[in-house]
Amino acid sequence: GENVEQHPSTLSVQEGDSAVIKCTYSDSASNYFPWYKQELGKRPQLIIDIRSNVGEKKDQRIAVTLNKTAKHFSLHITETQPEDSAVYFCAAPQRNTGRRALTFGSGTRLQVQP
């Protein structure tokens, strides 16, 4: 199946700084890469996604970049705020399910210090 590796596992930044989380995937045929934010005890919430026909997508303070050659994609959060503190998961389609289900990275706990 798909293997998705995510780094770092924890990230602490000062309010107003930028945060970057990186993921690598193994299935070169993967074409969809979502990012989810999960607050403690809550559901994973889709914050942004990217498909393989573009290299970058931006939504206000959040952006995702995709490098298909290197098989990695990254989440960039600018001007971080305390409410950005959460666990962030990257994901990619799971090959052994016909790419229907998602394989998730192990998560990054982001702490934004006020």
Partner 1 sequence: DSGVTQTPKHLITATGQRVTLRCSPRSGDLSVYWYQQSLDQGLQFLIQYYNGEERAKGNILERFSAQQFPDLHSELNLSSLELGDSALYFCASSVDSGDGETQYFGPGTRLLVL
CB of 96 to partner 1, least distance (A): 8
Shortest approach of partner 1 to residue 14 CB, angstroms?
Answer: 28
CA proximity to 64, closest of 106, 11, 19, 15: 19
Cβ 60 to partner 1, closest distance in Å?
19
Q: Could you give the count of Cα atoms lying within 13 Å of 68 in the half-sphere of its Cβ?
A: 12
Structure tokens at 60: 């206000």
CB 114 → partner 1: shortest distance, Å? 27
- The DSSP annotation for 55-85 comes to SEEEETTEEEEEETTTTEEEEEE-S--GGG-
Binding site for partner 1 (CB under 8 A): 31-32, 34, 36, 41-46, 49, 51, 89, 93-94, 97-104, 106-107
CB closer to partner 1, 35 vs 80? 35
Q: Which residue, 44 or 112, is less far from partner 1 as judged by CB?
A: 44
Amino acid (1-letter code) at residue 61: R
Choice between 74 and 93, CB closer to partner 1: 93
- Residue that is written with structure tokens 């298909």 in the block: 68
Backbone torsions φ then ψ of 97, nearest 5 degrees = -120, 20
**Cβ proximity to partner 1, 60 vs 100, nearer residue:** 100
